[in-house]
Each structure stands twice: as C-alpha cells, then as structure tokens.
Structure 1
Amino acid sequence: MDWRRYAEQMAVLARDLLAQDSVQATLDAVAQSAVKLIEGCDAAGILAVSKGRTVTLSVCGDMVEESDRLQGELGEGPCFDAAHRVDGERLFRIADMTLPQPSWPLYSRAARDLGIGSMTGVLLYTDQQDFGALNLYSRSPGAFGADIESAGWLLASHAAVALAGARTVEQLEHALETRHSIGEAMGILMERHRLSQEEAFAVLRRLSQQHNVKLRDVAGHVRAGSRAGSPQD
C-alpha cells in the first residue's frame, strides 16, 4: 500500500467528515469513503447493536443490508461479534468466506449465497464508548491483506472523531431549538395573560409536571395553539 498517498487521502477525508451537517451524513460519508479508499472493498456498512438487536446505520453497496439482517436474525456473524466486542477483539479479518467458518456456521453458508468472498470489520467508538462496527466486504476471497489492519484503524479513528463531533453539534443544535421554542411560548403567555417572565416559565413547568410531558413539548403545544388562534389555559 502507498501509505503516503493514503495519509493524504485521510487528511482530505477528515475535512470532508467534519463538513457534514448531521450524524447520518457523517455515517454515510464514512461508508462511502471505505469503498473508495480501501483497495478491494466492494461494499461497506456501519452496524450497531442495541439491546441485543442489530441496527444498520449506513450502507454503501449491495449485500450489506442483507448481511446485517441475517446476522441479527441468526444471532451470529463477524459483524455482529465486532459490534458486541466479543472477547475484546477490535478487528476481524476473514480471508476466504467461501470456506466453512466454525464460529458462524449458519451465517457463513448464507454469506456464500450473497456472494461475499472476504470481510473485515473494525470497531467504531466515540468518547471511549463502543458505537458499533465499520464492516468491509469484497466479492473476491483474499481481497484484504495484512495492510488492512492499519488502513482500517486509520479510517475508523477518523470516523470516530467525526462522529463524536457530529453528535456534539446535533445535541447543541437541539438544545438551541428547545430553548428558542420555550422562549417563544413564554412570550405568548406573557402577552396573552400579562405574566412576568418568571410566571410564564412557572406555568410551562407546572403543565409539564401535571401532564408528565417534556417542557419542550408543552412549549410546542402553546406555540401551535397560538398559530391556530385557539385559547391556552
């Protein structure tokens, strides 16, 4: 592998990932970059496991969704294990999926039917917590050589940093939207019922507690009622 060229590609990828405007866009960019940058990679996907259930977060290329579905359905498979961090393994590499795989007998037979020749998976994490696995597929046996360990880790590390940043941005944007919604609802109550700022907020909080509804949802109802011209209690 030309590591100098790969390092340059990683630098470009880092800028591209940070330019994405949502977590989903970041995930999709990671999967697409894997197919573009990893030699021999025909398809890539990001799989997470939540409460024992597999969740396909992003797909680039065919065979990925069906592979994820089968692993979740059968409860076995290399991607399923990687997302679970089975035995502490953070990377797996299967040189030839056309051969029987004793660890995943049911899945390996299904994988051959899907046309999967070889696979590699790298654990993804953010803020020192497991997130899932970046899984690479090739139709050809032996597609991923020894270099894939370093190449995969570099890609996964860039992805993890970008995902952590994307999550932070989305959380911040959500917090700002919530604050704006509550402020607008308070303004409506203040104008309509001649309340002070503290009194308007107290009304929203009381409604939230009484109805066991989040404060932002109460604010949303107040704003919707105002636009519809209906009275608010």
Structure 2
Amino acid sequence: MSDDPLDHFADVARAMSAESGLDQTLERAVAGAVELVEGCDHAGISVVERRRVVETAAATDDLVRRGDQLQYELNEGPCLQSIREQETVQSDDLTTEDRWPTWSRRAADELGVRSMLSVQLFVSEDSLGALNLYSGTVGAFTADSRETALALAAHVAVAMLAAQEHENYESALAHRTVIGQAQGILMERYQLTPDQAFATLARVSQAQNRKLRHIALDLTRNANLGGLPRSPAPPAP
C-alpha cells in the first residue's frame, strides 16, 4: 500500500466496494476509519431503517458497541443527534460537554472516551445512519480529520447502497427460485398449468395471511401445502 494518504483512501474505498455483502462492507468501513481519520481510536456505524430502532451495524470493538448502546438507552448522544439532525456532530471534550450530559459523563467515566465525531450517512429515503468515531484524547479530531471523515462517509454510503442492492437482488433471485420450485411441485402433483400453480400458492398465502415465499418454502421442504390434499386436484383457481 502506498504512503500517499490519497492512495490509502482509494485503497480503503476499493476494499469496501470489493466486499461481497453488507456486513463485510461495513466492517471494512469501520476498520478503514481507524486507518484513515487522524485521532480516531475506535469506529462504528449506526443505522436506522424506516425511522425505527437505531442499531449498531458494525464496530471495531466492544467499546464502540457499549458507547453506542448507552446512547440508545439514554436517548441522547452525538450519533443520535447526527442521524436526527442530519448533520456532522463533534465534541472535543466529553468531560465538559453539556449537549448530552448523562451520556457524555458515562462515556468518559466508564469507557475513557474524550472526543467524538459523528458524520451522517444518507443511504436512501428509508435508510439513514452515522459513522461514529471515538477517541481517548481530548481535542483529537482536527479540521483535516473532519474532512477525511466526511469524504469517507460519502464512500461508505455509496458502498452500503451497492451492497444492499446486491443483497436485494440475490434475495429476489432466491425467492423466485423457491416459488418456481413450488410451482413445479404443484404442476406435477395436480397437472396444473404454471399460472394455475401460482394462483394456488397465492390463494393459500392469502388464506393463511403469510408471505407467498414462505408458503412456497414450506412446500419445497415438506412436500405439503397446508389446506390442499396430497393427491386429488385442488379447486380450480
């Protein structure tokens, strides 16, 4: 790896993009944050889907997980402010911080954290997050640190979106495959056309109030579809 910081940044960005799944992408991202951002000792990524519960999706160590969890429990802290206000949040000394007094005191006393930098991640309208950088040093994050963190967060957001789209694509393929297998079972067992077999799966899904892919998975695993006999032809769709 080159000694040039820009080359190092590019290497981390490429490594994130090369990961095969979302979890691996985020783990690479937090490791890269410690490597790239001056003053950063620990890093994590918090995400919230559809404005629901905030969770830590990746962390370099347990200190980050505990620091994040304290924020979620106390409902205050730089990560939550970054996500809610969609802004970059920095604290140079948690021992004198008054924006999140309870969390700051506990993070400093229990975890030895002195400085924080949280940068918002905007992945999509339904998916938000923050890149959270922890340091044990007062005033650890400089203007250069902040600039690097902002640039890294932009790359992380793009890599997250790409990984999510890849996983959604893979999941959709898997769902279509299992539904196709279930259709084949029904077609062979009941001499149905493909459309009739699909309509039968859809009817059972509606009757049981379960997703169609779950109905199909049950059929492929158990060779039985609840509500239908094993051999006589089912009612016409």
TM-score, normalised with respect to structure 1: 0.89
Q: 1:177 to 1:129 in 2, by over 3 A?
A: closer
Deviation per CA, 1:9-52: give whole Å up to 9, x if none. 22212221111111111111111111122222110011134656
Pairing 1:73–2:73 present:
yes
| Aligned-pair CA distance for 1:103 | 1.0
Aligned partner of 2:106 among 101, 104, 110 = 110
C-alpha separation between the residues in 1 aligned to 2:182 and 2:62? 47
C-alpha separation between the residues in 2 aligned to 1:121 and 1:21? 26
| Aligned-pair CA distance for 1:171 | 0.6
| Aligned-pair CA distance for 1:225 | 1.7
Deviation per CA, 1:81-111: give whole Å up to 9, x if none. 11212xx5x212211223x211111111101
Q: Which residue of 1 aligns with 2:29?
A: 30
Please say if residues 42 and 61 of structure 1, whose CA atoms lie closer than 8 Å, have aligned partners that are also in contact.
no
Please say if residues 81 and 89 of structure 2, whose CA atoms lie closer than 8 Å, have aligned partners that are also in contact.
no
Pairing 1:151–2:148 present:
yes
User: Which residue identity is paired with 1:175?
Assistant: A
Q: Which residue of 1 aligns with 2:177?
A: 180
C-alpha separation between the residues in 2 aligned to 1:212 and 1:129? 25
C-alpha separation between the residues in 1 aligned to 2:141 and 2:125? 27
Aligned partner of 2:91 among 90, 94, 113 = 94
Please say if residues 38 and 142 of structure 2, whose CA atoms lie closer than 8 Å, have aligned partners that are also in contact.
no
Pairing 1:193–2:205 present:
no
Please say if residues 96 and 118 of structure 1, whose CA atoms lie closer than 8 Å, have aligned partners that are also in contact.
yes
Q: Which runs of 5+ in 1 are unaligned?
A: none
C-alpha separation between the residues in 1 aligned to 2:67 and 2:15? 28
User: Which residue identity is paired with 2:9?
Assistant: M
Q: CA RMSD in A?
A: 2.0
C-alpha separation between the residues in 2 aligned to 1:190 and 1:127? 41
User: Which residue identity is paired with 1:108?
Assistant: S
Please say if residues 84 and 132 of structure 1, whose CA atoms lie closer than 8 Å, have aligned partners that are also in contact.
no
C-alpha separation between the residues in 1 aligned to 2:164 and 2:52? 23
Q: Which secondary structure state, in structure 1, belongs to the residue aligned with residue 223 of structure 2? A: helix
Q: Which residue of 1 aligns with 2:14?
A: 15
| Aligned-pair CA distance for 1:53 | 3.6
Deviation per CA, 1:177-222: give whole Å up to 9, x if none. 0100011111111111111111111111111111111111111111
Please say if residues 117 and 132 of structure 2, whose CA atoms lie closer than 8 Å, have aligned partners that are also in contact.
yes
Q: Which residue of 1 aligns with 2:82?
A: 82
C-alpha separation between the residues in 1 aligned to 2:126 and 2:5? 27
| Aligned-pair CA distance for 1:131 | 1.4
Please say if residues 118 and 141 of structure 1, whose CA atoms lie closer than 8 Å, have aligned partners that are also in contact.
yes
Q: Which secondary structure state, in structure 1, belongs to the residue aligned with residue 4 of structure 2? A: helix
Please say if residues 36 and 148 of structure 2, whose CA atoms lie closer than 8 Å, have aligned partners that are also in contact.
no
Structure 1, 177-186 or 60-69: larger mean CA deviation: 60-69
Q: 1:60 to 1:127 in 2, by over 3 A?
A: same
C-alpha separation between the residues in 2 aligned to 1:83 and 1:23? 20
User: Which residue identity is paired with 1:158?
Assistant: H
Q: Which secondary structure state, in structure 1, belongs to the residue aligned with residue 143 of structure 2? A: coil
| Aligned-pair CA distance for 1:173 | 0.6
| Aligned-pair CA distance for 1:57 | 1.2
C-alpha separation between the residues in 1 aligned to 2:75 and 2:62? 21
Q: Which residue of 2 aligns with 1:222?
A: 219
C-alpha separation between the residues in 1 aligned to 2:52 and 2:166? 28
User: Which residue identity is paired with 1:112?
Assistant: A
